[in-house]
Amino acid sequence: MSGMLYGGDEIGALVFDPGHHSLRVGYAQEDTPKAEIPAIVGVAPDGGPKLEPEVKVEGSGGSSSSINASQPPTSAAAWKYYIDTTFLHTPRQNMELHPYMKDGMIENWDFFEKVIDYSYAKIIQSESEYHPVLFSESPWNQRPKREKLMEIMFEKYKVPAFFLVKNAALAAFANGRSTALVIDSGATHTSAVPVLDGYVISNAVVKSPLGGDYLVLRARELLEAQGIDLTPASMIASKEVVRDKDKAKYVKKPISFAPTNSWMAYMSKRTIQDFQQTVLQVSETPYEERVASAVPAVHYEFPTGYHQDFSSERFRLAEGLFDHAMLGAGYIASTSAGMCDVDVRPALYSSVVLTGGNSLVQGFSDRLSRDLSLRTPGSMRLKMIAANGTVERRFGAWVGGSILASIGTFQQMWVSMQEYQESGKVQIDRKCP
């Protein structure tokens, strides 16, 4: 059996990796998730007759997400939910956007279920009862939430088997380690999580609220202070070429209504995220105006057509991730390692795994390795493991889940429907450590 050779055995499992920025969904044993769905749900009152055109399938990638469900007590009117990029990015009357994640954990279960419904219907396109499901969770996920997730998956989706793994452990697996210090820099936070033999040492997890969203916040301050128009691309019908730093000349799409504030905020955040991903860079050594301004500037054009050079600001903004005395990425990493048993520290330092979308900010890994090496005890070997590919880095936890769920020896770990029916949800802590 060729599967034996590689230890793989595919059983048609699905992997879900919920994050603040997005939910990653796909089949186990594949290289990348089938879809990355923004972790935000648009809700608008259902306009009745408007329903028909919305439901029709448009092209390949984005198909309609309208899943009707009545919002229970607040109003009798039907609500319409908008999920995934294509639907979220179009302005709609009275569409309010709601995140369903908080602190790395699922907060709003109704919205979350809508997204899962959408995933099964449009992305997996198969019945949930045929596929075992592996979920990732943040290392500090709480027991009631774990139980609830298990309950929903078994009761509502009737999955044949379910498993829950800490995303840091998965990220370590994706990088070929079972023992590692995982530095995960996501949208809302950056965390340092020691993983030993695939188990997270939960008392030594350190996290800081400095992540991608923090950069967005700082970038927004800067751009707004400079009076730069952040109108999103989906509001713009046409634009003209203007000279560097000249006022943008563009025509707005004719929309009869004013988009909601939450939508505008979300869209401008997307705009800033793009700016942040293209322009920002972490300098290799602590920020110095003189050094930073010597680096060639980067040119960036906003959706409105306005464009200009950014030079030292690029570094000044990104510096926020590192210059904080207690929350900088290097600091939390060494603190976390310092909280572990002395015997495991050398192993942790010798495989520091970097993952999460925000770690893709230019220069992030170089700076982290510099900051960390200053804090590494002299006699220890420091090795940073950072996947080169954007996909591997952003979807680290998902890829790890994909690997784990398709390993032959893992198949005995699943919590099966039978076990769930026998012992209920309380066994989650025993079964999924």
Partner 1 sequence: MADVRDIMELDQPVTPELTKEAILGADKNKKRLFNAGQKVSKRPEGMHREVFALLYNDNKDAPPLFPSDTSNGYKQTKIKLGMRKPRKWEWMSFTNPARSDNTLFYHWRRPSDETKEYPFAKFNKKIDIPIYTDAEYNQHLTTEGWSRQETDHMMDLARRFDMRFIIIADRYDTEKFPKRTVEEIKDRYYKVCGILAKLTNKKMYTYDADHEKRRKEQLKRLYERTPEQIEEEQFLIGELKKIEARKKERERKTQDLQKLISQADNQGETPRKADKKLPKKKITNPSRPSRVDTSHILQAVETAGIKFPDYKNSGVSLRSQRMKLPASVGQKKTKGIEQMLQDMGMELNPTPSEEICQSFNELRSDMVLLMELKSALGTCEFELQSLRHQYEALNPGKTLTIPAQLLTAGNEQEAVKIGEIIDVVGSPGTPSGI
Ligand X SMILES: Nc1ncnc2c1ncn2[C@@H]1O[C@H](COP(=O)(O)OP(=O)(O)O)[C@@H](O)[C@H]1O
How many alpha carbons fall within 13 Å on the CB side of residue 376? 22
The residue number whose beta carbon is nearest to ligand X equals 212
Pick from 161, 134, 174: which is nearest to 24 by CA? 134
Name residues contacting ligand X, limited to 200-219 (CB under 6 A). 212-213
Pick from 407, 356, 391, 395: which is nearest to 163 by CA? 407
Pick from 424, 414, 420: which is nearest to 135 by CA? 414
Contact string 239-278 vs ligand X (x = CB under 6 A): ----------------------------------x--xx-
| Shortest Å, Cβ 30 to ligand X | 18
- The single residue among 394, 399, 415, 428 that binds ligand X, judged by CB under 6 A, is 394
Q: Which is nearer to partner 1, 238 or 423 (CB)?
A: 423
| Shortest Å, Cβ 133 to ligand X | 19
26 binds ligand X (CB under 6 A): no
- The single residue among 357, 406, 420, 432 that binds ligand X, judged by CB under 6 A, is 357
| Shortest Å, Cβ 22 to ligand X | 5
How many alpha carbons fall within 13 Å on the CB side of residue 74? 5
Under 8 Å between Cβ of 101 and 77: no
20 binds ligand X (CB under 6 A): yes
User: Pick from ligand X, partner 1, none: which does 9 bind, CB < 5 to 8 A by kind?
Assistant: partner 1
22 binds ligand X (CB under 6 A): yes
Q: Which is nearer to partner 1, 199 or 257 (CB)?
A: 199
90 binds ligand X (CB under 6 A): no
190 binds ligand X (CB under 6 A): no
The string over 262-296, giving b where at least 16 C-beta atoms fall within 10 Å of a residue's C-beta and e elsewhere, is bbbebbbbbbbbebbbebbbbbeeebeeeebeeee
CA–CA distance, 386 with 324 (Å, rounded to integer):
23
Which H or E run includes 355? strand 352-355
Q: Please report the beta strands in 148-198, taking only residues with DSSP state E, as ranges in sequence order.
A: 161-166, 180-185, 190-196
CB atoms within 10 A of CB 429: 12
Q: Which is nearer to ligand X, 320 or 356 (CB)?
A: 356
Residues paired with residue 137 on neighbouring β-strands, in sequence order: 166
| Shortest Å, Cβ 277 to ligand X | 4
Tokens of 114: 């809508």
Query: Residues with Cβ < 8 Å from 423, sequence gap 6 or more?
Result: none
User: Which residue's entry shows tokens 């699943």?
Assistant: 414
- The single residue among 261, 390, 418, 423 that binds ligand X, judged by CB under 6 A, is 390
Under 8 Å between Cβ of 332 and 190: yes
89 binds ligand X (CB under 6 A): no
Q: Which is nearer to partner 1, 240 or 341 (CB)?
A: 341
Contacts to partner 1 by CB under 8 A: 1, 3-4, 7, 9-12, 130, 132, 160-161, 196-197, 199, 201-204, 340-345, 377-380, 408-409, 411-412, 414, 416-419, 422, 430, 433
Chain positions contacting ligand X, by CB under 6 A: 19-22, 186-188, 212-213, 273, 276-277, 356-358, 360-361, 390, 394
